[in-house]
């Protein structure tokens, strides 16, 4: 059954196997692209951003009232003949359901799809007690026959090809199957499962909604099996998490606007069903259905009170956070979750299935923000994943060596910068006269060799600053320049390009020497404390009142400074008074050039060279800057050529690419393939981190495509 890795070593082994599954890779990659491309059509005429805020607010205001809503639901449902139970954990829920089956002399059970039933491993329990359980949702039936867990919350068998399904059905029916023809395979399930409905004594379903004001359950389905499961057998048991409680029908309709769109790209599913109480049932002794509703706690009520994690209870299980995740699309759901899958799975696993099952998978997030952007209930998934990682470390009372060193070094700017300077010397023998390190020393494992590595600059930008500092009389703007470690120590030329561009615009630039790492790498390693300390150092170094803007050409730093600083000081009395003023002053390179300086084509020569663009995650989603860089490319006289999946992550993610090199390499490969498919000569981006990854990869490929920071190509095009 489900075998989630409980340590990094076995996890990496599993990942390697998953990466070798060619069908899985192409199926999920295509799905990822198709899903994103289809979204604008699906959401035409729907205010996604507005509705998602409304749903989130509605869900949040219901959280403190689960118990009252439950009482209201129970009274209404029981008035219509249902019996309502509560289970504090998985064990209790399993016992209750088995007891209902026993009391009603049930032998055969049919099931409709329910993630909550998966959560408590209900089938295993019922089978152990001697009941025959048949899943009836097509995907669930397939994985039940294969004795696997779901690999997606909406499409549980998405990891299988039609041929694998065909072989399986051939075994079940003892007849050869035409696997090529999916319609025929579907009809096999229709035919095989019909008798099961008619023979079953009990049907088990989940529910998408439990409506407090009416005591009705709401179910959203497509295949029609749930309707049969809740109609033909004489007993119906619905297993419902407390988080499915909503106050009223209006709330359900609001969610119904986004749930099918997000899950399957439909405006509405084939069936939406409301079941209230014990309906007519001819096969039941009293001609009424024996109707039971079991409410599952299993940690939900405690979670509802948690100031940070309660947000995760908003989830409506649409599955979209997996659909768009670049890592899910490389390794599949069996390696990207335990029972719950995708971004939300990395979080909920800790709460519902324990830290052992989460400790490896929770580290496998590159923080690309793609999931957050599509989540219809506005859960800040990447943020909560890091928080979950921290919670796992705290529960285990463990500090990994990497975290220990990171904390020690990062907190002390002088030590950190000293080490960076020393690295230049250490790297020298590796790079020789080359601009990059192309061969790693033998103590690195070979999976790290997918890209060349940059060398640390001989003279960091901070050491060049004295000579470079412009003197502007009557400046129009004074900006604080936040370079970020990558530009300061690896690519000082990107900062010089910026200075060159600002010349003639009457911009006074200041570079406070006490600025240090923005703190994102610390947060990525779940080292919140360190992230806070460096944040304080930066805010102290760059007093917001001294500048019109604090400008950074690094999208990752920019998005971290602008959005994460508030989150890491959430409810913290140590938060500096000028925190928000500081965050308000942050601006990225492209927005500053396009919207503040409003640079114009007259300044540039116009080479007409073809330029492809990579949209950094932290720019297009983090800072929501989309148009500006593309505009700048054109303003500077280049020809911007579109390539596929421009806004998909490049696979860098700082230390992610060191921790999970094989996944990073796969993500990068797709990115570079797409760029090579365009006829661009230059690949341009707004983040030095992405430059490290993309340039390293292009260098390894030996292509002629140059990878540059957008500031560089703009500076070169100046008249």
Partner 1 sequence: MQNPDLIRQMKEKAEAVQVTVSTIHTMEDAFQYTVDITKKQGGRTVVAAGLKTKEQGSLKNECESSGLRLLEFPLRPHANEIHTSLTIVDGGVAETGTLVLDSTSEDVRIATMLAETHVAVLPASKIKPDTTALENELNAVLKADVPSYTAFITGASRTADIERVLAIGVHGPQELHILIMEENKA
Two structure tokens written together for 355 = 């830290």
**CB 284 to partner 1: min, Å:** 10
Candidates 63, 237, 379, 620: give the one binding ligand SF4 (CB under 6 A). Answer: 379
Angle at 252 between CA 249 and CA 256, to 5 degrees: 140
**CB 211 to partner 1: min, Å:** 7
- Give 622's DSSP letter: I
Candidates 126, 200, 320, 406: give the one binding ligand SF4 (CB under 6 A). Answer: 320
Candidates 14, 134, 136, 643: give the one binding partner 1 (CB under 8 A). Answer: 136
Q: Which three-class secondary structure state does DSSP give residue 525?
A: coil
**Residue 149 CB coordination number (10 Å):** 19
- CB nearer to ligand SF4: pick between 125 and 560: 560
**CB 161 to partner 1: min, Å:** 7
Examine residue 555 and tell whether it contacts ligand SF4 (CB under 6 A): no
State the number of binding residues for partner 1 (CB under 8 A): 69
Q: Return the closest-CA partner of residue 119 out of 389, 406, 430, 349.
A: 349
- Burial class for 272, CB neighbours closer than 10 Å (0-12, 13-18, 19+): middle
Examine residue 226 and tell whether it contacts ligand SF4 (CB under 6 A): no
**Residue 458 and residue 424 in contact, taking contact as beta carbons nearer than 8 Å:** yes
- What is the spatial distance between Cα 173 and Cα 176, in angstroms, rounded to a whole number? 8
- What is the spatial distance between Cα 538 and Cα 525, in angstroms, rounded to a whole number? 19
State the number of binding residues for ligand SF4 (CB under 6 A): 28
- What is the spatial distance between Cα 550 and Cα 555, in angstroms, rounded to a whole number? 13
Stretch of residues binding ligand SF4 (CB under 6 A), selected from 78-86, 186-194, 320-328, 574-582: 320-328
- CB nearer to partner 1: pick between 151 and 508: 151
State whether the Cα torsion 407-413-414-420 is positive or negative: positive
Q: Is 516 left (phi over 0), alpha (psi -120 to 50) or beta?
A: beta
- CB nearer to ligand SF4: pick between 202 and 321: 321
> 98 touches which of ligand SF4, partner 1, none (CB within 5 to 8 A by kind)?
none
**CB 439 to partner 1: min, Å:** 42
**Residue 236 and residue 144 in contact, taking contact as beta carbons nearer than 8 Å:** no
- CB nearer to partner 1: pick between 81 and 449: 81
- Give 564's DSSP letter: I
Q: Return the closest-CA partner of residue 241 out of 270, 217, 224.
A: 217
Q: Which residues contact 668 (CB under 8 A, 6 or more apart)?
A: 450, 451, 650, 651, 652, 693, 694, 697
> 160 touches which of ligand SF4, partner 1, none (CB within 5 to 8 A by kind)?
partner 1
> 272 touches which of ligand SF4, partner 1, none (CB within 5 to 8 A by kind)?
partner 1
**CB 263 to ligand SF4: min, Å:** 8
- CB nearer to partner 1: pick between 78 and 356: 78
Candidates 177, 205, 369, 564: give the one binding ligand SF4 (CB under 6 A). Answer: 369
Q: Which three-class secondary structure state does DSSP give residue 552?
A: strand
Beta-sheet pairing, 108-111 with 83-87: unpaired
- CB nearer to partner 1: pick between 136 and 685: 136
Q: Which three-class secondary structure state does DSSP give residue 101?
A: helix
Candidates 48, 121, 271, 640: give the one binding partner 1 (CB under 8 A). Answer: 271
Examine residue 521 and tell whether it contacts ligand SF4 (CB under 6 A): no
Q: Scanning residues 138 to 167, which ones bind partner 1 (CB under 8 A)? A: 138-139, 142, 155-158, 160-162, 165
Examine residue 171 and tell whether it contacts partner 1 (CB under 8 A): no
- What is the spatial distance between Cα 312 and Cα 345, in angstroms, rounded to a whole number? 10
In residues, how long is the chain? 719
Examine residue 240 and tell whether it contacts ligand SF4 (CB under 6 A): no
Candidates 24, 109, 212, 232: give the one binding partner 1 (CB under 8 A). Answer: 232
**Residue 280 CB coordination number (10 Å):** 9
Q: Scanning residues 58 to 87, which ones bind partner 1 (CB under 8 A)? A: 76, 79-81
Tell me how far CA of residue 118 lies from CA of 140, 153, 565, in angstroms. Answer: 10, 10, 37
- What is the spatial distance between Cα 251 and Cα 428, in angstroms, rounded to a whole number? 63
- Taking residues 339 to 368 in sequence order and writing x for each that binds ligand SF4 by CB under 6 A, - otherwise, the string is ---xxx--------------------xxxx
Beta-sheet pairing, 453-454 with 436-437: antiparallel
> 319 touches which of partner 1, ligand SF4, none (CB within 5 to 8 A by kind)?
ligand SF4
Examine residue 246 and tell whether it contacts partner 1 (CB under 8 A): no
Give the binding site for partner 1 (CB under 8 A): 27, 31, 76, 79-81, 136-139, 142, 155-158, 160-162, 165, 182-183, 185-187, 189-190, 193-194, 198, 211, 213-214, 216, 222-225, 227-228, 230-232, 248-250, 253, 256, 264, 266-283, 288-289, 291
Contacts with ligand SF4, residue ranges (CB under 6 A): 315-321, 324-327, 342-344, 365-371, 374-377, 379, 381-382
């Amino acid at each position: 059954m489900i075998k989630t890795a409980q340590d990094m070593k076995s996890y990496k082994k599993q990942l390697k196997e998953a990466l070798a599954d060619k069908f899985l890779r192409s199926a999920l990659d295509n799905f990822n692209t198709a899903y994103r491309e289809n979204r604008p059509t699906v959401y035409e005429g729907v205010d996604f951003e507005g509705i998602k805020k409304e749903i989130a607010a509605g869900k949040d205001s219901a959280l403190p009232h689960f118990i009252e809503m439950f009482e209201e639901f129970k009274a209404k449902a029981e008035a219509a003949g249902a019996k309502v139970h509560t289970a504090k954990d998985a064990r209790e829920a399993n016992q209750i359901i088995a007891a209902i089956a026993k009391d009603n002399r049930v032998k055969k059970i049919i099931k409709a799809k329910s993630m909550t039933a998966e959560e408590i491993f209900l089938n295993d329990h019922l089978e152990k007690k001697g009941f025959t359980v048949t899943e009836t949702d097509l995907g669930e039936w397939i994985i039940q026959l294969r004795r696997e867990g779901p690999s997606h919350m909406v499409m549980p068998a998405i990891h299988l090809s039609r041929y694998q399904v065909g072989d399986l059905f051939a075994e079940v029916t003892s007849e050869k199957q035409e696997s090529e023809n999916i319609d025929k395979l579907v009809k096999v399930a229709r035919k095989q499962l019909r008798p099961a409905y008619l023979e079953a004594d009990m049907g088990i379903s989940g529910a998408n909604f439990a409506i407090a004001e009416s005591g009705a359950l709401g179910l959203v389905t497509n295949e029609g099996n749930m309707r049969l499961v809740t109609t033909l057998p004489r007993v119906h048991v619905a297993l419902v998490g407390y988080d499915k409680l909503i106050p009223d029908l209006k709330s359900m309709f609001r969610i119904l606007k986004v749930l099918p769109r997000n899950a399957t790209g439909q405006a509405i599913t084939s069936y939406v069903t409301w079941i209230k109480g014990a309906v007519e049932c001819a096969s039941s002794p009293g001609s009424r259905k024996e109707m039971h509703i079991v409410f599952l706690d299993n940690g939900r009520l405690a979670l509802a009170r948690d100031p940070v994690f309660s947000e995760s209870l908003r989830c409506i299980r649409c599955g979209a956070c997996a659909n768009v995740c670049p890592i899910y699309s490389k390794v599949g759901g069996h390696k990207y979750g335990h029972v719950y899958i995708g971004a939300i799975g990395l979080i909920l696993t800790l709460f519902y299935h324990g830290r052992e099952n989460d400790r490896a998978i929770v580290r496998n997030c590159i923080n690309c923000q793609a999931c957050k952007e599509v989540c219809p209930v506005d859960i800040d998934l990447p943020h909560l994943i890091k928080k979950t990682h921290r919670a796992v470390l705290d529960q285990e009372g463990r500090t990994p060596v990497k975290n220990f060193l990171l904390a020690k070094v990062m907190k002390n700017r002088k030590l950190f910068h000293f080490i960076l300077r020393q690295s230049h010397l250490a790297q020298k023998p590796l790079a020789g006269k080359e601009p990059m390190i192309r061969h790693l020393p033998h103590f690195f494992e070979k999976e790290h060799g997918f890209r060349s590595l940059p060398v640390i600059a001989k003279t960091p930008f901070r050491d060049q600053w004295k000579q470079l500092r412009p003197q502007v009389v009557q400046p129009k703007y004074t900006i604080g320049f936040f370079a970020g470690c990558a530009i300061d120590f690896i690519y000082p030329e990107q900062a010089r390009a910026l200075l060159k561009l600002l010349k003639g615009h009457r911009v006074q630039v200041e570079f406070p020497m006490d600025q240090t790492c923005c703190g994102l790498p610390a947060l990525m390693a779940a080292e919140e404390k360190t992230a806070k300390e460096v944040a304080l150092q930066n805010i102290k170094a760059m007093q917001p009142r001294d500048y019109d803007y604090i400008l950074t050409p690094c999208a990752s730093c920019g998005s971290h400074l602008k959005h994460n600083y508030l989150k890491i000081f959430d409810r913290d009395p140590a938060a500096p008074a000028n925190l928000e003023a500081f965050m308000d002053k942050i601006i990225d390179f492209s927005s500053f050039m396009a919207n503040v300086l409003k640079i114009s084509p007259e300044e540039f020569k116009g080479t007409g060279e073809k330029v492809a663009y990579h949209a950094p995650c932290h720019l297009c989603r983090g800072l929501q800057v989309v148009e500006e860089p593309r505009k700048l490319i054109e303003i500077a006289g280049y020809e911007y050529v579109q390539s596929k999946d421009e806004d998909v992550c490049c696979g860098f993610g700082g230390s992610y690419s060191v921790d999970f090199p094989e996944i990073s390499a796969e993500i990068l490969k797709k990115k570079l393939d797409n760029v090579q498919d365009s006829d661009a000569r230059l690949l341009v981006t707004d983040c030095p981190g992405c430059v490290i990854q993309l340039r390293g990869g292009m260098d390894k490929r030996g292509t002629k495509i140059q990878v540059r920071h957008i500031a560089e190509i703009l500076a070169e095009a100046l008249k």
